[in-house]
Structure 1
């Protein structure tokens, strides 16, 4: 029973069936009335803030037509068509239908959506923004006739009726309301982070029913970092070592706009967020998000002393790599990009000394990116010239464990060592189906 509940919780998080198909002769609200182009343009911007394209556009596919495959422990699922096509998309949705799906997780035909669609966050989106989003998806997106594919998840994990009770327990209805005593920038940042940005969906730990442990700053676990789909989404609180405590406001704004700064570079799922969402944010909204995140008190972390850079012991190992298995791998494969001093060539090539992702207790992201590399950051249409390559075909599990243990200990990072069994587990889960 415990195993079944755990599997059901995972299915609730990762499965993405979203929109029911609509008969060809169904009414098409999108076709009625002239579109307000100002409203459509505003909706387009809001859709970028919500990063809708990242999930609903497949590689080489048409915008928002779905079809992106995602592997889960229960089977493969496929993201859905949210273009205004009347038969296979959401063309038959009224604004009320759209709002209910977005904020309450209930489709037009009444079936419950899985909360991989982040409606617990979108519940905070206000009416004006819902109206603009609806205008965009109905009048600013080209309709694409592309049928949604059923997931491969087997019964009973594909059942939806338990979600009614999940929503009763965990869905907090009601749009965001400004917090008294906070200024305009703070409240705007809170609205974006908690709502359209749905940052907590990845960066907040999950509870026993796979619900987010906190939905705003009133909960101590909010944005304290979480493991999701083979990546550890980092701590976004003011924690000094693994969070944003050493980041200035300018550091954070630079990262949101470009995906890299003097502390770290985006990789994994965050690459898509930068490419499709945050780089398009207005300067005012970027500043608001930074204001809010920088206000969060330190939570989580490893309990270690505040990080201070010390290159001496690492330099000795690199001078004599024959005596250290990790140093041998580092000098052969890593040093030319990340440097003897561990500072890399930020922001082009990520530093390793003091990098919050290196210092994190959970090494999943480091293992994953070493095995599989990461996609290109594409800023203003220009791909990054030095994306991290994958070494799964070059290095074995022990070599990756050795070099990551070396990096996590190096330059006074002081993070725990990595075992070959950890690498083997992630290799198996991330390489399956490739």
Structure 2
């Protein structure tokens, strides 16, 4: 169970004219002047920090050519080609067409996009950043001729026109406006988190219409954590046990840049966010994002008292593992990385004691990463030496439930036990098609 800590999440986008290396697959704009090249580079930075590649590039596919499958409550959809190919991509889009698709979820031909595309967040992106993104996708990305694939959603749920009414109910138009009484850094962080960063798309609970329950800090559910596609995206509020309450500003900035700190290591979908997005944040924007997130009041949590570390009972159990089925599994498969004391070897190997995601009421992320492992964190081109392996082929449902129950109770974590039926359900849903 290496790196068993769900990270916090957010693909955070930036609009200041700091230059960064363009994402893989970027093309040099032919015949562009210096000003145009600077705009393309700025757009490349925005696209990278917005993690556009994570959704619009399929495994082993060409950059931004689409085809990535995405599960929704209605069925599977396939992400579209956003290269500047005139036939199959967005090469025929004007800047106005591009802006409408990005911020209103309406394609050039007038059909509505599924809100799996986080346009309710992108609605807050300002005109200058839209212009830079358009310049990048038109002149900084190589065109790829690859037809878009129809969704697997069955009729009548695959009809797009009802989404017009969804937009009327849930889409709030207009770019982000600075909040009075807040300084420049706080407003910058709010803009990044709420806008192109679309953190709420994963970390905010959804309502009955699959809309985000809140789009900014004025709603109590904003960034309080949410279940999505077999993972529980972490609580990003100041909640002491399951959120960021015990994280310092330095802890948070380190996590955004490297995917690991003394509290947590990224895994699951967050690995892609770190690899393709947040590590590229410049120092000013890292500080702004951290300032905004650290300002959010505590919401949610498991109702337990503030966590304090206590290794004694767990140490006794591990000294006599035959008395506890979960301790036996932990001793055989987990202890060499996460330690008898549960503190791991941060930042390379994540701690389990006091881990916000170990303490969370919903254990989906822990079950998922134990079953399926996670990909490598790749920071500045260097893969992490100890990625979490998957144990689906090694441990049965009861063994995984036992060891996770042991971990969630150990070192004074005090989190609820995990049932074998929960493991079986996630095994079935996540292993399908593998």
TM-score range, shorter chain: over 0.9
Contact kept, 8 Å, 2:65 with 2:82, in 1: the verdict is yes
Partner of 1:101, secondary structure, is helix
Deviations 1:275-331 (A, max 9, x none): 111001111111100000000000010111000000000000000000000000000
Given that residues 205 and 213 in structure 1 are in contact (C-alpha distance below 8 angstroms), is that contact kept between their aligned partners in structure 2? yes
1:231·1:364 contact (CA, 8 Å) conserved in 2? yes
User: How far has the Cα of 1:382 moved from its partner?
Assistant: 0.7
Cα offset, 1:10, TM superposition = 21
**Could you give the per-residue CA deviations for residues 43-89 of structure 1, whole angstroms, max 9, x where no partner exists?**
00011121100000111111100111234564432211000000000
Q: Does structure 2 retain, via aligned residues, the 8 Å contact 1:16–1:79?
A: no
Structure 1: how far apart are the matches of 2:252 and 2:115? 29
Match of 1:136 in 2: 136
SS at match of 2:13: helix
For structure 2, the residue ranges without an aligned partner over 5 or more in a row are none
| Mapped partners of 2:264, 2:148: distance in 1 | 38
CA 1:96/1:24 → structure 2, altered by over 3 Å: closer, same or farther? farther
Q: Is the 8 A contact 1:50 1:197 kept in 2?
A: yes
SS in 2 for 1:70: strand
Task: Quickly say closer, same or farther: Cα 1:25–1:274, change in 2 above 3 A.
Answer: closer
**Contact 1:18-1:107 at 8 Å conserved across structures:** no
1:201-233 superposed Cα distances (whole Å, 9 cap, x missing partner): 000000011100000000000000000000000
Deviation at 1:254?
0.2
Q: Which digits, 9 at most, give the CA deviation of each residue in 1:183-216, with x for residues without a partner?
A: 1100000000000110000000000111000000
Q: Structure 1-normalised TM-score?
A: 0.92
Q: Equivalents in 2 of 1:11, 1:357: separation in Å?
A: 19
1:379–1:16 distance in 2 versus 1, CA, 3 Å: closer
1:35 to 1:161, Cα distance in 2 relative to 1, 3 A = farther
* RMSD over aligned Cα atoms: 7.1
Q: Distance in 2 between matches of 1:59 and 1:17?
A: 30
Q: Following the alignment from structure 2 to structure 1, what is the Cα–Cα distance between the partners of residues 294 and 196?
A: 19
SS state at 1:58 partner: coil
Give the secondary-structure state (helix, strand or coil) at the position aligned to 1:267. coil
Kindly indicate whether the alpha-carbon contact (under 8 Å) linking 1:12 and 1:115 is maintained by their aligned counterparts in 2: no
Instruction: Give me the TM-score of the superposition, normalised by structure 2.
Output: 0.92
**CA deviations over 1:63-120 (Å, ceiling 9, x no partner):** 1001112345644322110000000000000000000000000000111111000000
Report the Cα distance in structure 1 between the residues aligned to 2:186 and 2:420, rounded to whole angstroms. Answer: 44
Whether the 8 Å contact between 2:354 and 2:413 is mirrored in structure 1 is yes
Give the secondary structure class of the aligned counterpart of 2:30. helix
